[in-house]
Structure formats: structure tokens, C-alpha cells
Amino acid sequence: MPLILSRLVLDPRDHAARRDVANPYAMHQTLARVFAEHPDAPPARFLWRLEPGGPFDRPTVLIQSDRAGNWERLPPRYGHAQSKPYDPARLLQTGRELRFRLYANPTRARKVDGTPARRGQRVGIHDDLEALAWLDGQGRTRGGFTLCRLERAAVRAGEAFWSDPGASGETEVPTLFDVQVRRSRWRFRKPGTDAAAWLTFDVAYYDGRMEVTDPGRLLQIIEQGLGRGKAFGLGLLSVAP
């Protein structure tokens, strides 16, 4: 089923827009009203991501949804949205390489006294290479993709790049994924709650190349999102030729 892809450019002069950029929970509340049939109804499924930009760029939100949104429900002067049909299935052929972008919450099971934790006991990943291994594992086990690799690479400042034998400060590795990863920690709270009710997510920003291994599984991940925190701007996997 074709999806709808919308690009919402926010007006930084608007108070509500500035509030939502600073708080993913508030952003989700605003967007949920756009995709609900009426004020008391739950919203249709949607995924969103606050796109990276420079200090002088207007904040831009990318939204993928099952149906068109009612953008008139946005606060006045909040921003302007443009939408178009989006059919990622046409890009997905086994063996094809695609560029991708993903903001995700990679986690691992916490171990206590050498015993794996029960389901649900998860901790954030704080290492770039471990974050890359997490994503590659997600793709291989359930996502229908593998991360493309560089044949000869080096690691420096958490980025993948071709190695220079004469450069200093590099650590040679046999292979490295053709993916750049950055990490940050998000802390925010539900509007109206007390100051102690913070939500925390360890976030990894991925930009790179993947190879399609199972188009059906990858399409499901694109439609449903990957990982935790989807309501808060995580999990939207975008692909392009």
C-alpha cells in the first residue's frame, strides 16, 4: 500500500513550533492531532523525524503516514506542509544497494551477575561500533538488509572513511560499514508533569548504504519503523537510490 510522505517546515518565530522542536513528546502530540479523524479518535499510524540542518535553516520534520493528514489542525503560523505519495516497494529488489537515514534507540540486554536480563530490561548503547553492530544485527535477523562494507577502512571520531596509510591517529580494522553514526542522549518530559518525570533515550543517527536481502521484510520495517521510541521521532527508516 503506498504511503504518504510529508515535509513540514516550521516557523521558528512560532512559540508552539519552538516548544515542539525542544520536546519530542510535545511534537508527537501536535502531529497526532493532524492524523486523527476527530479530536477524540486515536491517530492513524505515522512515523516522523526532525531532519538535521544548519543553525540558519528552518526546522524541518519528515513524516511518513498511512493516510493524508489534516494540516489545518496545526496551530496558526506553526509551519507549512507539503505531501506526496510514497511507494518504497518499487526501490526494493534483492541485491540492490540503497542510501538510508535512520534515527534509532539501539539497546542491549543488561546482565546481572552474569545472567542475561529478563525481557524488557534494556540499556542504551554508548559506543559507535556497538551501535553499528546493533543495526547490522537488526537488518540480518529481521530487517531484510545488511549494511554495506568498505573493503579497507579506518576508524576516527566515529566515522567511516577510506584510510590513508600515512595518516596518524587511525586504527586499522579489516572491514567497516559504509555508514556514519553519531550519538546523543535525549532527555525530555511529558508536558504538564512534574520536573522529575524525565524520559531518556540514547539515540544513534545513521547515514549510509545498505543492501537489500529480503524486500518483503525490509518493506515491513519501513512501514512500521525500527526499534523503540517511534512516537518520539525515532525509527523512521528512509531509503533512496
Question: Residue ranges of the domains in the chain?
Answer: 3-86, 91-240
Amino acid at 176: L
Q: What residues contact residue 217 under an 8 Å CB cut-off, 6+ apart?
A: 142, 143, 144
Answer whether 3-86 and 91-240 agree in fold: yes
With a threshold of 0.85, does the pTM exceed it?
A: no
Q: Tell whether domain 3-86 is in CATH 3.30.70.1200.
A: yes
Per-residue pLDDT of the chain in tens (241 residues, 90 and over written 9): 689 999 999 999 999 999 999 999 999 999 999 999 877 788 889 999 999 877 678 999 999 999 999 999 999 999 999 999 999 999 999 999 999 999 999 987 766 555 555 555 777 787 888 899 899 999 999 999 999 988 654 444 444 443 333 344 444 444 578 999 998 888 887 776 666 678 888 899 999 999 999 999 999 999 999 999 999 999 999 999 9
Residue 95 CA to residue 210 CA, distance in Å, equals 10
Which CATH number describes the domain made up of 91-240?
A: 3.30.70.1210
| pLDDT for the residue 16 | 95
